[in-house]
Structures are given as C-alpha cells and as structure tokens.
Structure 1
Amino acid sequence: MKKFKLFCLAIFSFSYALYAQNGNYGMGARSAALGGASLTLGDEWSLYNNIGGLAAARDKAIFTSIKNKYGLTEFTSLAFGGIYPIWGGTAGLGVFRFGDELFNEQRLNLGFSNQFGIVSLGLNIGYYQLNVEGAGSRKTLLIDFGGRAKLTEQLYFGAHVSNLNQARLSKTTDERIPTIMKTGLSYRPGNDLMINLEVEKDIDQDAVFKIGLEYYVIDQVVLRTGFHTQPFESSFGIGFTPGKINIDYAYNNNPDLGGIHELSLVYRFKD
C-alpha cells in the first residue's frame, strides 16, 4: 500500500511539473482549517486568499506560514508577508514558494485594498516564476481582483478572481495558469460563531464546494472545522490569540494521499 501511495505521489508530482500549480495559491492555517472557505475573512491572509478583504486588516503586521502535504518535503509551501495601512486602505507584500530544487514555484505578491461604504475592493499583482530542473524557468505576471461586502451585521459576501489576465507560461503550447473564480457567503449570528459557504470554479474544471465553521471557545481560543470537494478533504484546526500574536494550526485529510499540516504565525504592531 505504501509503494502504491508513493507511486501515486510520483505521478502527481510529474503532472504538477507539467502543468504548473493548480492556480490556487491560498495560504494561512485559518483558511485551511475552514476547508478553504475564507473569501469573507478580513485578515492578513487576505493578501493570499481574497485581496478584497485586506482593507479590514487595519494593524501593521508581519506573518508567515508553512504547509506540508503528505509528509513529503518536496510538497512543502512557505509564505511570508507584511501589511501596512496607507492611503485610506491597506497595502500588502508577500512571498510564496512551493517545491524543492528539482521543481519549484515562486510568487511575489503586491496588493492593495480599500473600503467603499459596505464594500471593500482589492487588486493583487503577482510576479510568478516556475523552475524545472533540465527544462529551465518560466516567468509571468498574474492579476487577482476581489471584493468583500458587509450586507448586514450577520451576513457577509465575498468574490474573487485569480489570474484575471489568464497569464500564459508558453506561447508555443499556449499553456496557461488556471483562472479561478470564487464566491461565497458568511453567516455570523454572534461574535463567537461563523459559518462560511463557498463555490470555487476553475474555468476548465468541475466546481468545488466548501464549508467552514469557526467557534470561539473563549476569547483567546478558537476551534475550526470544514471540508471541500474535488477532491474531498476534511479539515480541522485551532487558533490562539495571546495579545499581539496569532498562532493557527490546521490539518486537512485526503483519504487517498494522507494528511496536510499547516502552521501560521501573525504578529501585529498594535499601539
């Protein structure tokens, strides 16, 4: 069984190298624990998950996250970023890397989000580089656009399009990074409970459905769970908020390939 799993992982890695990342560069253990249902969140990780929500993060902050898939070092993602309130909104700069020396992806994000009444809108420009040993590297620019709206005190709406410009990796083969559209709702009946529902659609793939639940046990401790389809993965996590620091952990379970662990840290420079 172990050999079969490794064989599947090898095939997955080969396909990954051929077709590049799946177009989803979302990071942050909070999002992962919610099954990826994070469009309506307004935190530092909006820089990676929905740039439209970044305007709600009003403290200067730095943050980092590490994610490992299936216990293989080759399938490790790292992210680091910082945000700064400026020009009436919030700007962010982030760096993402996936892979090892044989195959890796890197992305530099520069984003800005601003609030307009009940709606916040944001734009993210990413410089993307794909490196495959023996095949050279490819570079391109990615543009993401997103929005978040507070419809009522309990109901939020979010939408996001990644790779809006349908960036191309190869003019010869017309190979492109996937364009992904997401939309979702968040119901928050109180300060201690949040329920998120989302739909994600790659223009060339079946729709993915996501659901996430977050519950504050006490002021500084929060529990999370969720799942998403295509493929089906369940998730859970926990978060701690001692003062200026946020520490979040998430575990996602893929029934065929194994577990995905992610640990995130945020430090806010509060006055």
Structure 2
Amino acid sequence: MKHGFLFFLLNFNLFFVAGQVSSQIGARQVGLGNVGATLSDVVAVKNNPGAFGFFEGTAVNLQYANRFLLNELATQNISFGHQTEAGNVGVFIQQSGFQLFRQIQIGGTYAMQLSNRIGMGVNLNYHSTRFGDIYGKTQNVSASVGVNYKLNKKVQFGASVLNINRAKISDFQNERLPTLFILGGQFQLSNQIIWLIDLEKDLSQKLNIKSGLEINANAVFDIRFGINTYPFQSAFGVGINLNKFTIDIASVWHAQIGLTPTIGLTYAFK
C-alpha cells in the first residue's frame, strides 16, 4: 500500500517530487521558498555557478530533506566550495529515493569574478537513475551555466540555465532531463531585511514565481518566509549563526501532498 502511494506521487508529478535536475538546494533556500539565484553561499555551487563566483573562503554544507514526511523520498546533499586566486571550485553530491526509485547527481563547478560586479560559472553533472528492477539504470551528463550581476550594494541579479544540453534519459518518447531557466533578483530593503525573487521556467512546465524574505533579527538569528506559485507552496525557516557553524531549519508546505522539513549544517573553514 505504501509503495503504491509512492508510485502515485511519482507519476502524479515526477518533476516536482523527485526531479532529476532540482532547481535549488540548501536549507536556507528552502526557507525562502527555494529561492537562491543570487545567493553566493557554498550551495551556489549547484544553484547558480555565476553567484558561486562571489563565494569567499572554504566551506562545506550538509543537508537532509524528508520529502512529504516519507523516508523513501528523502534527499541528502553535500556541497563543498573553495576560493582560489584563479577562481572558485566546488563539488556537490545529491542522493534521493528508495530501493524502487533512486537518483544520484554528482556535479563539479568552476566560477570566477570578471569584475567586482560580474560573476560567471559553469558546472558539469553526472546523473544516475534507477527505477525498479525491471527498467534498470540510466546514466547521463548535463551542463549548467550562470551569471550574477551586482548593480550596487543593495541590488543584484542572477540568471542560470540548468541542463543546457538537454541530456536525454531514454529514446522512448524522447525523454530528457528537465531544462530550467532561472532569473532572480535580490533587494536589500534595510540593514536587517532582504527580499529575493526568482522566475523559474521549465520547458514543459508553467512559470513558477518564487519569492522569499529574510529578516536578520540579530547577529545569531535569522527568520525566513517564502512562497511559490506553481505548484503553490509556502515556506518558513530559521538560521542560527554560531561562529564557523551555521544551522538552517526550514519547512515547505504543499496543500495537496504535505510537509517537507529540511535541515542544513554549514561549516566555514576560514
């Protein structure tokens, strides 16, 4: 019965539940409604290679998301970023699913600042998908590109294309990994408040408008709110900053399918 429900979810909306090219990772981003095209923290290594060009230092992030409170749909991520004189380099690994449906994505990113206002980057990703014992395993490679532009200290914009090469899953019905176009903006409303908005378009899906608000309550505590239009979702999150450690906790609510709690831990080496 439980596996039957899982297959219903997968068939109802495979891209949303276990999409092979997820648009954003990071518990901070989840709390903002999965907004992140302009955020230059370590998980930008996947979210937007252009924003990753502004990443500073060396850091690692661990994330766990329990999708719709079903362990079989849980997702785990690890991201690592390192700043060098020749540019920023990073890797990430994402794994989700259960024994009848499992996906793994491994990516590597290189990014750099072309100036103090413009960052650009590219990443390459290996995808492995296993769907039951009958259909076996598929493997493919995708590429993503991104750019980030800082208009001034309070306004910046980011854009990325995920799976720009439209990697094919199988010849049956010409099935391909999703290709996503993301355009985002970040606006510093005050010293304590940031407003973010992303416009995300999949070639086969409706436009998803995602917006989030981050409130810096004090040096330790952040509060976040977010919303999506397609599918409609609301999000809430908090961040706790403890010297080199940052703990992010968030949840997304989907009216038809339920709650997805997420937790992330970031350690900055320097």
CA contact (8 A) 1:66 1:263 kept: yes
Q: Which residue of 1 aligns with 2:58?
A: 60
> What SS is found at the alignment partner of 2:51?
helix
* Structure 1 pair 6–225 and aligned structure 2 pair: CA distance change class (3 A): farther
Deviations 1:27-61 (A, max 9, x none): 11110111112111110010121121112221111
User: Structure 2 CA distance, aligned partners of 1:214 and 1:120?
Assistant: 23
Please report how far the alpha carbon of residue 18 of structure 1 lies from its aligned counterpart in structure 2 after TM superposition. Answer: 9.9
User: Structure 2 CA distance, aligned partners of 1:36 and 1:55?
Assistant: 20
CA contact (8 A) 1:17 1:132 kept: no
Count of matched residue pairs: 267
Please report how far the alpha carbon of residue 161 of structure 1 lies from its aligned counterpart in structure 2 after TM superposition. Answer: 0.5
Task: Confirm whether residue 12 of structure 1 aligns to residue 24 of structure 2.
Answer: no
User: Structure 1 CA distance, aligned partners of 2:122 and 2:50?
Assistant: 7
Match of 2:46 among 41, 48, 51: 48
With normalisation by structure 1, the TM-score equals: 0.93
Comparing 72-81 and 9-18, the one that deviates more = 9-18
CA contact (8 A) 2:200 2:209 kept: yes
In the alignment, residue 125 of structure 2 is paired with which amino acid?
Answer: G
Counterpart mapping for 1:115-130 below 5 A: 115-117=113-115, 118-130=117-129
> What SS is found at the alignment partner of 2:217?
strand
Please report how far the alpha carbon of residue 65 of structure 1 lies from its aligned counterpart in structure 2 after TM superposition. Answer: 0.2
* Structure 1 pair 18–192 and aligned structure 2 pair: CA distance change class (3 A): closer
CA contact (8 A) 2:150 2:157 kept: yes
Percent identical among aligned pairs is 27
CA contact (8 A) 1:102 1:132 kept: yes
Deviations 1:46-90 (A, max 9, x none): 012112111222111111100111111111000012111124321
CA contact (8 A) 2:253 2:260 kept: yes
With normalisation by structure 2, the TM-score equals: 0.93
> What SS is found at the alignment partner of 2:153?
coil
Structure 1 unaligned runs (5+)? none
User: Structure 2 CA distance, aligned partners of 1:170 and 1:13?
Assistant: 18
User: Structure 2 CA distance, aligned partners of 1:246 and 1:238?
Assistant: 11
In the alignment, residue 116 of structure 1 is paired with which amino acid?
Answer: L
